[in-house]
Amino acid sequence: MSLAKRIIPCLDVDNGRVVKGVQFVDIRDAGNPVEVAKRYDEQGADEITFLDITATAHGRATTVQMVEEVASQVFIPLTVGGGIRCVEDIRTMLNAGADKVAINSAAIFNPAFVKEASDTFGSQCIVVAIDAKKVSAEGEENKWEIFTHGGRKATGIDAVDWAKRMECLGAGEILLTSMDRDGTKIGFDLELTRTIADSIRIPVIASGGVGELEHLAKGITEGHAEAVLAASIFHFGQHTVEEAKLAMQTQGIEVRL
Amino acid sequence: MDQKLVAVIDYGMGNLRSVAKAAEHVAPDNVRIVVTSNPDEVASADAIIFPGQGAAKACMQALHDTGMIHPIQQAAQEKPFLGICMGLQVLMSHSDENQGIDCLNVIPGNVKHFEFEENSPLKIPHMGWNQIHQEQDHALWQNIPQDSRFYFVHSYYIEPDNQAMITGTTTHGITFPSVLSHKNLFAIQAHPEKSAEHGLQLFKNFLTWNGH
């Protein structure tokens, strides 16, 4: 018996509503974050991540309210990412009931922010999100770079170096998304995941590319991730979280059932 | 039924809202949950929940600044008392965190850092769902199956001087005490407020516990 590997459904939210087509047949309002989160909780999700894509200040206030509502009814860890730029943003989300925040571009513009955040709130609630893309050619030694703006802008920063640096600055976890795989449904970039997971002591959450249940297990067994994150495979009722856990268990992976 | 007041101690270092909400979610009608930073309210409450997050030094400083050290030491001796995560660790005599810091000394013993070999696949912090092996019977284990999983997130673990206090253990590289109890006190390294049904059950058990 030991620590279970985690499965984390990820939801995009805009103005406090779940967007990007969650399609459970038997819930009344698929845009209602409380209903969706409750459903994933019932299925045995180990945590839930909300990615806030809201553009306006008013909309962000609505997201805070949403986190409050979810946190008062769903008693598993909640992570909120998207638009976390300063200590006040973090405080607001934690006070609303989030357990962790994911910091992405703000870490790139100002790495010291990660240190400030972990010094203030503790590493346990600071997740650094890394969007990486392979930049080495076929036959060359593997190299991945950090990208911003949804994978459109290169930063010139090496992904492995960056993960190590984020660990040093106090990140408690790395949410690692392969921008090459995101949305492709062909599975995680396992080399990327393994290279980073093996380079740092803090847990890595693999993300980007899940299309089948076996992809999740591979993220753990071959990618050496501690947790796997997925969206569409769960949203469209293709599989439940419980099915995913059973599939992982048959691969010898310890899960919470 | 008698009214019962349960105080969740607020010293600026906890996930108080989550803890209070989880407790409220399962509280019987006669139980009122208050989040308080008032030492008098801690003294007059019927039971205490002592959460905590962050670093030991910052927690001790915050307890000092809010005048909570004595009220907590007092309450931990005399009424149902539930310590959670850092609210367990700072009950000990001393923690190795932050180059070493003296803590509340309610429970004799130390707090130590996980140490694994350089290329160990074990991660620090110990983060996620792990099992608690119930080492002895306790009223707070009611309706919680043996070896149930709870949500943990911590880099330090406790070592009480008195082994008889060890009420639950968990394995992450080493097997460490994850739950202590002594008379009216029960303290857990995991986060029951984030541990779904078993965590809620633990709060339910605590809220109806008379401390014996």
Of these residues, A12, A52, A182, A189, which one is catalytic?
A12
Residue A51 pLDDT > 70: yes
The pLDDT of residue A47 is 98
Tokens of A74: 């769903």
Closest CA to B27 of B37, B38, B19: B19
Q: Encode pLDDT of A208-237 as tens digits.
A: 999 999 999 999 999 999 999 998 899 888
The domain ranges of chain B are 4-207
Record: contact A4-B194, CB cut-off 8 A: no
Residue A28 pLDDT > 70: no
Instruction: Give the 3-state secondary structure of residue B20.
Output: helix
Q: Encode pLDDT of A105-126 as tens digits.
A: 999 999 999 999 998 888 889 9
Q: Is the pTM of this model over 0.90?
A: yes
The domain ranges of chain A are 6-250
User: Which residues in chain A are closer than 8 Å to B124, comparing Cβ atoms?
Assistant: 201-202
Record: contact A75-B123, CB cut-off 8 A: no
Nearest C-alpha in B relative to A41? B196
**Minimum mean pLDDT among A109-113, B34-38, B189-193: which range?**
B34-38
Record: contact A1-B147, CB cut-off 8 A: yes
Q: Are A223 and A203 in contact (CB under 8 A)?
A: no
Q: What mean pLDDT do residues A57-79 have?
A: 91
Residue A29 pLDDT > 80: no
User: Which residues in chain B are closer than 8 Å to A75, comparing Cβ atoms?
Assistant: 18, 22, 25, 193-196, 199-200
Whole-angstrom Cα distance, residue A44 to residue A39? 9
The pLDDT of residue B1 is 65
Reported as a pLDDT band with limits 50, 70 and 90, residue A238 is confident
**Contact residues for A152 (Cβ-Cβ < 8 A; gap 6+):** none
Q: Encode pLDDT of A189-200 as tens digits.
A: 999 999 999 999
User: Which residues in chain B are closer than 8 Å to A172, comparing Cβ atoms?
Assistant: 125, 127, 153
| The most confident of A7-21, A139-153, B124-138, by mean pLDDT | B124-138
Record: contact A1-B171, CB cut-off 8 A: yes
Q: For residue B60, give the amino acid letter.
A: M
Residue A7 pLDDT > 70: yes
Whole-angstrom Cα distance, residue B204 to residue A36? 25
Q: What is the mean pLDDT of chain B?
A: 94
Residue A30 pLDDT > 80: no
Task: Quote the ipTM score.
Answer: 0.92
A6-250 domain in CATH 3.20.20.70? Answer: yes
Which residues are paired to A100 by β-bridges?
A: A79
**Minimum mean pLDDT among A26-30, A132-136, B183-187: which range?**
A26-30
Q: Tell me the shortest Cα–Cα distance from B131 to chain A, in angstroms.
A: 7
Q: Are A70 and A34 in contact (CB under 8 A)?
A: yes
A131 flagged as catalytic: yes
Of these residues, A14, A89, A131, A189, which one is catalytic?
A131
Residue A151 pLDDT > 80: yes
Q: What is the CATH number of domain B4-207?
A: 3.40.50.880
- What is the percent of chain A where pLDDT is above 70? 96
Instruction: Give the 3-state secondary structure of residue B83.
Output: strand
Q: What is the mean pLDDT of chain A?
A: 92
Whole-angstrom Cα distance, residue B136 to residue B151? 20
The pLDDT of residue A23 is 61
> When comparing pLDDT for A151 and B153, which is higher?
B153
Residue B99 pLDDT > 70: yes
Residue A24 pLDDT > 80: no
Q: Encode pLDDT of A91-102 as tens digits.
A: 899 888 899 999
Reported as a pLDDT band with limits 50, 70 and 90, residue A141 is very high
